[in-house]
Structure 1
Amino acid sequence: MKTLPLTALLTLAIATTAVASGADDSTHSSDTAYLPNGTFTYETFEASVEHADLEGCPAQFDTDVVFCRITLANDQAHIFVFSYEGDQPLMAVKPYDLSDGFLPF
């Protein structure tokens, strides 16, 4: 599993924002991803949400049964928590204000 230090993560977020703001949308697929049973799986997240892998998770989550990914949006870091079980469904999303001693775990 690939992990990024905070400086690399912030650089990635800035570069991603610059690329995402481009007007040319011709490289994006026009296929619609439907969520079976309304479940947002890691497979769908991986393919559709710009993110970085995390080595750990906030202390309230057991890393023996879940894994975490991070996104940056709206002046917040969002930790997405996925189960290792089955289709790896999304279990929780935990936001952190970027001004709050960023990621206290």
Structure 2
Amino acid sequence: MTRTTLLSLLPALLATSALASGAEDATHSSATSYLPNGAFTYETFEASVEHADLEGCPAEFDTDVVFCRITLANDQAHIFVFSYEGDQPVMAVKPYDLSDGFLPF
């Protein structure tokens, strides 16, 4: 798939994801979210960061114990890796330049 094709599909993917998430949340809370022990949990991420769900993760991560989401910012895709354990804290953030083959998984 070419870079142009990938870049043209990403806004639609993110818009669809945003609509799907927004459909469940009729109202958004304006309450401040505090991060206990500095942990950025999936619950906070889901409510505050526009993203798209991914079926997989980069090969270096074991999808039996983590799951991944993608965001776009500063001409990069960012893969957020969350643990399935406990409050599902973020375990890693892996950036990719927006170029051909930027998602090699």
TM-score if structure 2 supplies the norm length?
0.75
- Percent of aligned pairs with the same amino acid: 89
Matching residue of 2:92? 92
Deviation at 1:31, TM superposition (A): 1.5
Matching residue of 2:49? 49
1: CA distance, partners of 2:36 / 2:80: 19
Which structure would you say has the larger RCO, counting Cα contacts within 8 Å and 6 or more residues apart?
2
RMSD between aligned alpha carbons?
2.1
Q: Secondary structure at the match of 1:68?
A: strand
Q: Which AA in structure 1 matches 2:65?
A: V
Unaligned runs of 5+ in 2: 1-5, 17-26
Provide, for residues 11-43 of structure 1, a one-character-per-residue CA deviation record: whole Å limited to 9, x for no partner.
244x59xxxxxxxxxx86431110011000000
Q: Secondary structure at the match of 1:57?
A: coil
TM-score if structure 1 supplies the norm length?
0.75
2: CA distance, partners of 1:12 / 1:35: 29
Deviation at 1:99, TM superposition (A): 1.6
Runs of 4+ in 1 over 6 A off after TM superposition: none
Contact 1:9/1:52, CA 8 A, preserved across alignment:
no
Contact 1:67/1:82, CA 8 A, preserved across alignment:
yes
Provide, for residues 40-97 of structure 1, a one-character-per-residue CA deviation record: whole Å limited to 9, x for no partner.
0000000000000000000000000000000011100000000000000000000000
Deviation at 1:100, TM superposition (A): 4.9
2: CA distance, partners of 1:88 / 1:95: 20
Select between 95-104 and 35-44 the one with higher mean Cα deviation.
Answer: 95-104
Matching residue of 1:66? 66
